[in-house]
Amino acid sequence: GENVEQHPSTLSVQEGDSAVIKCTYSDSASNYFPWYKQELGKRPQLIIDIRSNVGEKKDQRIAVTLNKTAKHFSLHITETQPEDSAVYFCAASNTGQNFVFGPGTRLSVLP
Amino acid sequence: GAVVSQHPSRVICKSGTSVKIECRSLDFQATTMFWYRQFPKQSLMLMATSNEGSKATYEQGVEKDKFLINHASLTLSTLTVTSAHPEDSSFYICSARVSSGLQETQYFGPGTRLLVL
């Protein structure tokens, strides 16, 4: 089955700097890669996703890149703000299949 | 995005009692919902897949007789933790699959924090 790894497990950046979180997956059939942001005690919120027919997607300060050949995808956050502090989860799935989540990255944006 | 609600948000119960958690899709029909368990500072662990009108599919290691799942309508799935024990204390989160053609994603409920004394 699918296995998703995520790095780093914790990440601290200064406000205004960029943050990058990387995930790798094992199942080449996976075709959908969402990213969720979870603040303490709250639900995971979908922040951006990418499908296997594109290599990059951007939404304001957030971007995701996908390398299908290497089976890895990354989340990029630019101009980080304190409110970006949260745990970020990547996931991989195939159409109709369950999501497999990475272990999460705890991002701290220091003022 | 689609709205998923969950009730209750927090519950404290005595050991040996049963607790029911409801997950509702508010503005769409969800033929498939998922139940996750999350321990502090850990990832989301899929417990089971709930399919409307059929039996739930449980992940390996999850006791189906302890975690009863019912998906009786297109907008409601329930998880009942039977004979709860302190080790069942956790954050339980449901999600609903939203499909649009071949594209689909999941939206999460707000979670239920269960504390078993």
Query: DSSP string covering B26-43, please?
Result: SSS--SEEEEEEE-TT--
pLDDT recorded at residue B98: 85
If DSSP codes are grouped into helix, strand and coil, which group holds residue B1?
A: coil
Strands A10-14 and B103-108, sheet pairing? unpaired
Using only the alpha carbons of chain A, give its radius of gyration.
13
Q: Say if residue B21 is exposed, middle or buried (CB neighbours under 10 Å; 0-12, 13-18, 19+).
A: buried
How far apart are alpha carbons A85 and B18 in whole angstroms?
36
* Cβ of residue A98 closer than 8 Å to a chain B Cβ: yes
Mean pLDDT within B22-33: 90
Tens digit of each residue's pLDDT (9 = 90 or more) over B36-77: 999 988 889 999 999 888 889 999 999 999 999 999 888 999
| Residue B102 CB coordination number (10 Å) | 10
* Cβ of residue A51 closer than 8 Å to a chain B Cβ: yes
The model's confidence at residue A102, banded by pLDDT at 50, 70 and 90, is very high
Residues with Cβ < 8 Å from B109, sequence gap 6 or more? A43, B4, B5, B6, B23, B24, B93, B94, B95, B96
Q: Which residues of B touch A36 (CB under 8 A)?
A: 108
Q: What's the gap in Å between the CA of B55 and the closest CA on chain A?
A: 16
